[in-house]
């Protein structure tokens, strides 16, 4: 006879197990895993009406919990991540989109008119999270995501198709350090480039250090190299009155602001939800 467990019982056992393994978000992660494999909502767990006896389903949940206990990111286990109201495929090909980066999308949309129909360029598009989110807000804009990574390009293209915006979002391979591809001028440039120093990268959690692509996080010159490069080339790619929006390291803002002030008529710093100086916006 197969074992029988309620969803709530599985949650209690799973969250206890994950907590013992040092997972800080043990209960939340267990809820996500259980809901994913049982195809139920979180409230359904606590109503305690779901009895699971199917051995295959139980094994899938056990395997997923085991993977999380070994510090594999929840997003990789589920195979997707929610970002700014859209669903994205998520795996080791690209950096997992961060919650704070949603604020970068909001900052851009607060500086563009409703119904904006111009052009947007996403430097280092990764999974495509930023450019797809902006394409959803501005369905008549011309959107382009570029990345040097073949893996990122393949994932971003899949996410563009998944979110049904392939008619006005293009994804191309491009290395801003070495590329012969000509890019047209655009109204908006957005980038969340690598900005960690070697020491900062070494200090990250195992979920980051062992599973996110290193080159999506780590930049030369103590984390500043890629940001410098983008600021240098942005004026030659932006239209008059164009907008540059960057996510940066919290300790890099003053230095980068001085760089921006040499090329842009207006630039300012914005803090993230935790109060860190995380974003730079500049107008040409």
Report pLDDT digits (tens) over 150-197: 999 999 999 999 999 999 999 999 987 776 567 889 999 999 999 999
Which CATH number fits the domain that encloses residue 155?
3.40.50.150
Q: What secondary structure letter does DSSP report for 190?
A: E
How do 51-52 and 119-123 pair as beta strands?
unpaired
Which whole-number Å values give the CA distances from 254 to 9, 40, 243, 261, in the listed order? 51, 47, 19, 11
In a domain, 86, yes or no: no
246 shares a domain with 186: yes
Enter the pTM of the model. Answer: 0.93
137 shares a domain with 18: no
**Residues 63-86 pLDDT 10s:** 999 999 999 999 999 999 999 999
Number of Cβ within a 10 Å radius of residue 181: 9
102 shares a domain with 59: no
b/e 152-162 (16+ beta carbons within 10 angstroms → b): bbebbbbbbeb
**Residues 34-49 pLDDT 10s:** 999 999 999 999 998 8
Residue 125: closest CA among 91, 148, 108: 148
Question: Percent of the chain, pLDDT > 70?
Answer: 98
Structure tokens at 157: 């293209």
Q: Which residue range(s) make up the domain with 125?
A: 93-283
């Amino acid at each position: 006879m197969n074992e029988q467990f309620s969803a709530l019982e599985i949650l209690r056992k799973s969250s206890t197990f994950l907590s013992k393994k040092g997972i800080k978000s043990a209960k939340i992660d267990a809820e996500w895993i259980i809901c994913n494999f049982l195809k139920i909502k979180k409230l359904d767990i606590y109503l305690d009406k779901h009895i699971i006896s199917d051995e295959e389903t139980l094994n899938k949940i056990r395997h997923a919990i085991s993977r999380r206990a070994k510090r594999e990111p929840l997003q990789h286990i589920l195979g997707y991540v929610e970002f700014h109201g859209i669903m994205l495929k998520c795996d080791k090909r690209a950096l997992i989109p961060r919650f704070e980066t949603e604020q970068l999308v909001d900052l851009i949309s607060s500086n563009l008119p409703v119904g904006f129909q111009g052009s947007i360029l996403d430097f280092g598009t990764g999974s495509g999270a930023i450019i797809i989110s902006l394409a959803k807000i501005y369905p008549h804009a011309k959107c382009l995501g570029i990345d040097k990574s073949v893996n990122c390009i393949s994932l971003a293209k899949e996410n563009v198709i998944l979110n049904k915006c392939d008619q006005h979002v293009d994804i191309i391979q491009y290395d801003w350090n070495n590329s012969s591809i000509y890019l047209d001028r655009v109204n908006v440039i957005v980038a969340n480039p690598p900005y960690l120093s070697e020491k900062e990268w070494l200090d990250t959690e195992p979920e980051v250090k062992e599973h996110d692509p290193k080159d999506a996080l780590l930049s030369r010159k103590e984390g500043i190299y890629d940001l410098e490069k983008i600021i240098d080339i942005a004026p030659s790619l932006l239209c008059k009155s164009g907008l540059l929006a960057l996510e940066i390291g919290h300790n890099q803002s003053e230095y980068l602001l001085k760089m921006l002030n040499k090329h842009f008529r207006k630039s300012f710093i914005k803090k993230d939800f935790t109060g860190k100086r995380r974003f730079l916006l500049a107008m040409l």
